Amino acid sequence: MAFDLVFFGGTGDLVWRKLMPALFQAYRHDTLPEGGRIIGVGRDDLSDEQYRQQIQSRFEQVEGDKRPNSEEFARFASLLCYVRMDLSKPESYAALAARLAERETDNVVMYLSTAPSLFTTVCEQLAANGLNTSKTRIVLEKPLGHDLASNRAINEAVGKVFKEQQIFRIDHYLGKPAVQNLFAMRFGNALFEPLWRREHIANIQITMSEELGVEKRGGFYETTGALRDMVQNHALQLLCAIAMEPPINAHADAIRDEKLKVLRALKRWTPETLSQHVVRGQYAAGNVDGQAVPAYRDEPGVSPTSTTETFVALRTEIANWRWAGVPFYIRTGKRMASREAHIEINFRSTPHEIFQSPVGQVNKLVIHLQPKDGLELHLFAQGQSKRGQGSGGQTLSPVHLDLDFDKRFGSERVGAYERLLLDVLDGRLNLFVRSDEQEEAWRWVEPILRHWAADPVGPRPYAAGTWGPSASSAMIARDGFCWSEEI
């Protein structure tokens, strides 16, 4: 399958740090279709060979086992070429059109790894130069807008020149192997689905924490914040994967129809729930791994009076038959105690105790997304009884079954961006987000944004290297639950 894959923003951070390494892994695994060409687009004045050298120098920063040796890179580099463009100038697009006209391909993928403000301009100019053909696919990186209105404007502009089945709105969390196994666990096995409902599940927690601060992205983060950066897209997509009904088949629209139903069933915000069920924070100075780190307001590019949130915790419910009354908790933040992303399904206690269960602990299923990738099932078991103790006084001990996907599948593992890029080349939309999903997610988070805009208090400070403001723990404690590290 001959293809041209065009990276707008081809000299940018995302391309060299994530996308090129992912394509190289596909090339190494022999899953990248033959007859491909990868075209970087940027404002720098580079030849094809200079672009290849730049990418090779960037590969030196890739983690060891994913780094090509010189021979491997020489073969991979033969796929790379470069086109100099100023995306804001219509005349620049003629150079890209000429490059693409050099050969016939089965499909052309335009990957917009640029500022979202350029999405509309790029799509319009692609159409003006006849580059929006039936074999063209367009990939849009997040954030797709900063609110519902801007999201709609981008989707409408892109929709004027591309059909919905040509548009791939990417959320790399959906490409993570653990998320794929979440779907497989739910819909490919009979074990958990009968328990996957309000009668058996007490609460569900989604945690996405980072030890890093905003690093060199202070200017970007000032206009984005944790709610837009993580909750509106990644967290809500994970929530949908957990809570959706079984689709009628594995086709893209069948899956996305069920996710949309979850988003529409999320309880709407009221003034009371906005005050009690949403916590925002901003990291102050502190210590991470024994090193002193600055406060968010002292980071480069950040206003010294900034009210941008670096932490969000919230509680919501899904108003449908399966999940009525089950609280879903989401939290995400920067400069937290550890880097991890996981989903924790906490089951209800036994209806009648025969044994003494460990205090404060319940059966739970933990789905690890990063840095570990796998499943843990936490159970109780009976160990050696103490001498003279009757059966009525026996205490159970916690045990867990641990499935580490990396150990189990090893070299068979496919990274998130590798999987998603291959899906784009193959035209599979299952792991990409439809426009109505995005709009519904924005509709749900917008009341939070409006509430914060009118709140003179601002985000609550928390010391870097901790698990966020204490109000986050108080929020979940009101329901009689706690975050996993507090047990």
Residue 357's pLDDT is what? Answer: 78
Per-residue confidence band for 309, with pLDDT thresholds at 50, 70 and 90: very high
How large a percentage of the chain has pLDDT more than 90? 75
Can you give the pLDDT at residue 351?
Answer: 86
| Lowest-pLDDT choice from 62-71, 98-107, 108-117 | 62-71
Q: Are 328 and 201 in contact (CB under 8 A)?
A: no
Instruction: State residue 360's pLDDT score.
Output: 75
Contacts by 146-152 with C-beta closer than 8 Å and gap 24+? 146/116, 146/223, 146/224, 146/228, 147/442, 147/446, 147/449, 148/439, 148/442, 148/443, 148/446, 151/438, 151/439, 151/442, 152/439
- Residue 401: in which H helix or E strand, if any? strand 397-404
Distance CA 338, CA 205 (A): 16
User: Is 454's pLDDT higher than 60?
Assistant: yes
**CA quadruple 24, 30, 32, 35: dihedral positive or negative?**
positive
Res. 388 pLDDT band, cuts 50 70 90: very low
For 217-270, the pLDDT digits (tens) are 899 899 999 999 999 999 999 999 999 999 999 899 999 999 999 999 999 999
Beta-carbon contacts of 251 under 8 Å, excluding residues fewer than 6 positions away, are 430
Determine which of 139-143, 248-252, 323-327 has the lowest per-residue pLDDT on average: 139-143
Distances (CA, A) of 326 to 109, 443, 449: 42, 22, 24
Which tokens is 435 given? 């426009």
Cα distances from 375 to residues 39, 226, 414, in angstroms, run: 38, 26, 17
Q: Which residues contact 59 (CB under 8 A, 6 or more apart)?
A: 16, 20, 21, 24, 67, 68, 73
Task: Give the model confidence (pLDDT) of 192-223 as tens digits.
Answer: 889 999 999 999 999 999 999 998 889 989 99
What per-residue confidence (pLDDT) applies to 413? 67
Are 315 and 277 in contact by the 8 Å Cβ rule? The answer is yes
Q: Is 368 a catalytic residue?
A: no
Q: Is the pLDDT of residue 356 over 90?
A: no
Of 405, 398, 400, the residue nearest 185 (C-alpha)? 405
Rounded Cα distance between 211 and 176, Å, is 20
Q: Categorise residue 465: left if φ over 0, alpha if ψ from -120 to 50, beta otherwise.
A: left
Residue type, 485: E
Q: What is the DSSP letter of 118?
A: G
Of 170, 181, 227, 185, residue with least CA distance to 437: 170
pLDDT tens-digit readout, 156-194 = 999 999 999 999 999 998 998 888 888 888 898 888 889
What is the DSSP annotation of 270-289?
A: -HHHHHHSEEEEEEESEEET
- From the list 29, 172, 200, 234, the catalytic residue is 234
The rounded mean pLDDT for the chain is 92
* H helix or E strand, kind and range, residue 188: none
Please state whether the predicted TM-score (pTM) of the whole model is above 0.85: yes
